[in-house]
Amino acid sequence: MTALTLSTAGAATLRADALVVGVAKGAKGPVVAPGAEAVDKAFDGKLASVLETLGATGAEGEVTKVPAPSGLKTPVVLAVGLGAVPEKDETYDAETLRRAAGAAARALTGSKKAAFALPVEAAEDAEAIAEGALLGAYAFTAYQGGEKDAKNSKNGNGPKLPLAEIALLGAKPRDKAYKAAAERAIALTEEINRARDLVNTPPNDLYPESFAAVATAAGKEHGIKVQVFDEKALAKGGFGGILGVGQGSQNPPRLVKLSYTHSKAAKNLALVGKGITYDSGGISLKPAGHNETMKCDMSGAAAVFAAVVAAARLGLAVNVTGWLALAENMPSGSATRPGDVLRMYSGKTVEVLNTDAEGRLVLGDALTKASEENPDAIVDVATLTGAMVMALGNRTFGIMSNDDAFRTSIHEIAEEVGEQSWPMPLPSELRKGMDSPTADIANMGERMGGGLVAGLFLQEFVGEGITWAHLDIAGPAFHEGAPYGYTPKGGTGSAIRTLVKLAERTAAGDLG
């Protein structure tokens, strides 16, 4: 894990492998951003023109490396683009800083230590830079460099390791607000990076039982009560949805309950995550080209797990209960067939028309179970539908809810933490498409608006009168394109920052 410290050192005096500065896109070429004054001075005030000569424009995400002049204690200066210069009396917004810090950290993969001299006006800026840098300094290398000496990247055999140490300049290490900001960023990003690891771990190693074991261990470490329902307990309890999805696999399903409680909590928040450790589609098998990344289908459960642990580490004054609905969706002689009817935990029967619409089955059971405790709100998170990816693309998650104000709050919170999302409706006329001649409901409906159909299905399993929202993260959970900002290839940790901020807001009494 990359270490981060707030440093009082000046940019020109700190010893490191690289010094990161910001460069903005001015009207007449690149402009050196605040925080780098001493660095610019070491360049005799010519850093902007040096950068311009090297082709830098200050565009967002642009990275330019310059050999440092003798006045600096680092061999290299790395200028990262911040985009447009802020309007008069305004500062760089948090997401701009987060992405720039992430891009810089990524460009320093393989380095030991870097000092970040980006613009810091307030503790929130330091927090955003810390978050971005720590999220950018991420690599999933557990399965690389398997030959002897694998971990030793110096000999060229092993993978390049992420930037190991970050010193944040321009922050005030002794100021309470700055200290808290750094601590929050560290706890949050460690849990996000852990969730990314879980998502990236191949499905032959991450299956319901091994995921549950990770949750149990983390619970012990952070004072979270963890309860695991194994296949026997699930059968005894009548969890027909989770069992129906998991019964085709050699790896039996699990339902994991994580309970974080705080003595001064006034509110109870329940989080439910879809945890399909591999989605082959089951008997309704996905064709090649659609199953290679389906280890990511537990991203919702990973997000919920990370959010509960982060809430505990931050000591938030709210009770947060996480429910991980874990199963592996496989075809086999014991698998659920299209046409089978499952009896859900709620008692409702479901005709399974397509075994690839499995997420709603495991979530239905978990939503009913979570509702029994009558929480103030339930939020479920799931890589639920390809239709949501069609609608919103690869970077934006959809928000559905039975409460307009709650949906709006989540959308605003997501925006505030730098996660792209969009409110989606739950049109009641789509419900009849799921009418079944045999059971109470079918697990599939109209193709058009498939993401909303899935949301309507889930809504049927939410307890009467409970405020509920559903986040469909099928687009942003797993990034297949080139890395950008603080977003790596593979698991992204989508929705975690939104969930943690929601818990903070709930603790502060700002919601409902």
Q: Which residue ranges make up the site for ligand BES (CB under 6 A)?
A: 279, 297, 354, 356-359, 383-387, 389, 444, 450, 474
φ, ψ of residue 389 to 5 degrees: the values are: -70, -40
Which partner from the list ligand BES, Mn ion, Zn ion, none does 385 bind, CB cut-off 5 to 8 Å by kind?
Answer: ligand BES
Residue holding tokens 């950068």?
Answer: 51
Which partner from the list ligand BES, Zn ion, Mn ion, none does 487 bind, CB cut-off 5 to 8 Å by kind?
Answer: none
Using the rule CB under 5 A, give the single segment among 45-53, 240-248, 251-259, 274-282 that binds Mn ion. 274-282
Q: Is residue 473 a contact partner of residue 381, using CB atoms and an 8 Å limit?
A: yes
Q: Catalytic site residue 337?
A: no
Shortest gap between Cβ of 286 and ligand BES (angstroms)? 7
Shortest gap between Cβ of 278 and ligand BES (angstroms)? 10
Q: Which one-letter amino acid corresponds to residue 472? A: D
Residue (132 or 450) nearer to ligand BES, CB: 450
Q: Judged by CB under 5 A, does residue 279 bind Mn ion?
A: yes
Contact characters 352-371, Zn ion, x per CB under 5 A: -------x------------
- Name the catalytic one among 267, 360, 407, 505: 360
Q: Which residue is nearest to Mn ion (CB)?
A: 356
Buried b (16+ CB within 10 A) or exposed e, 412-443: ebbeebbbbbeebebeeebbeebebeebbbbb
Residue (311 or 452) nearer to ligand BES, CB: 452
Which partner from the list Zn ion, ligand BES, Mn ion, none does 153 bind, CB cut-off 5 to 8 Å by kind?
Answer: none
For 235, the token pair is: 């059968």
Residue (96 or 355) nearer to Mn ion, CB: 355
Shortest gap between Cβ of 290 and ligand BES (angstroms)? 7
Q: Catalytic site residue 431?
A: no
Q: Which residues contact 205 (CB under 8 A, 6 or more apart)?
A: none
Q: Which one-letter amino acid corresponds to residue 511? A: L
CA atoms within 13 A on the CB side of 220: 5
Name the nearest CA neighbour of 225 among 343, 120, 319.
319
Q: Judged by CB under 5 A, does residue 328 bind Mn ion?
A: no
Cα Rg, the chain, nearest whole Å? 24
Shortest gap between Cβ of 502 and ligand BES (angstroms)? 23
Residue (276 or 496) nearer to Zn ion, CB: 276
Shortest gap between Cβ of 477 and ligand BES (angstroms)? 7
When binding is defined by CB under 5 A, the residue of 40, 125, 231, 279 that contacts Zn ion is 279
Q: Which residue is nearest to ligand BES (CB)?
A: 386
Beta strand 397-401 pairing with 341-343: unpaired
**Could you tell me the end-to-end alpha-carbon distance of the chain, in angstroms, rounded to an integer?**
37
Separation of alpha carbons 181 and 36, rounded Å: 21
Shortest gap between Cβ of 386 and Mn ion (angstroms)? 9
Contact characters 238-277, Zn ion, x per CB under 5 A: --------------------------------------x-
- Name the catalytic one among 286, 343, 395, 489: 286
When binding is defined by CB under 5 A, the residue of 297, 380, 419, 504 that contacts Zn ion is 297
Using the rule CB under 5 A, give the single segment among 120-128, 185-193, 295-303, 399-407 that binds Zn ion. 295-303
Q: Considering CB under 5 A, how many residues would be counted as binding Mn ion?
A: 3
Shortest gap between Cβ of 461 and Mn ion (angstroms)? 18
Residue (279 or 365) nearer to Mn ion, CB: 279
When binding is defined by CB under 5 A, the residue of 356, 365, 380, 419 that contacts Mn ion is 356
Q: Is residue 113 a contact partner of residue 54, using CB atoms and an 8 Å limit?
A: no
In DSSP terms, 228 is beta-bridged to: 256
Shortest gap between Cβ of 473 and Mn ion (angstroms)? 14
Which partner from the list ligand BES, Mn ion, Zn ion, none does 386 bind, CB cut-off 5 to 8 Å by kind?
Answer: ligand BES
For 382, the token pair is: 């799931």
Residue 405: count of CB within 10 angstroms of its CB: 11
Structure letter (DSSP) for residue 7: -
For 467, the token pair is: 């405020």
Residue (358 or 380) nearer to Mn ion, CB: 358
By the 10 Å C-beta count (0-12 exposed, 13-18 middle, 19+ buried), 59 is classed as: middle
Separation of alpha carbons 359 and 503, rounded Å: 24
For 442, the token pair is: 């079918």
For 167, the token pair is: 């010193």
Residue (127 or 328) nearer to Mn ion, CB: 328
For 369, the token pair is: 């179970």
CA atoms within 13 A on the CB side of 183: 12
**What angle is formed at CA 249 by the lines to CA 338 and CA 300, rounded to 5 degrees?**
85
List residues binding Mn ion (CB under 5 A). Answer: 279, 356, 358
List residues binding Zn ion (CB under 5 A). Answer: 276, 279, 297, 359
Instruction: Give me the active site residues, please.
Output: 286, 360
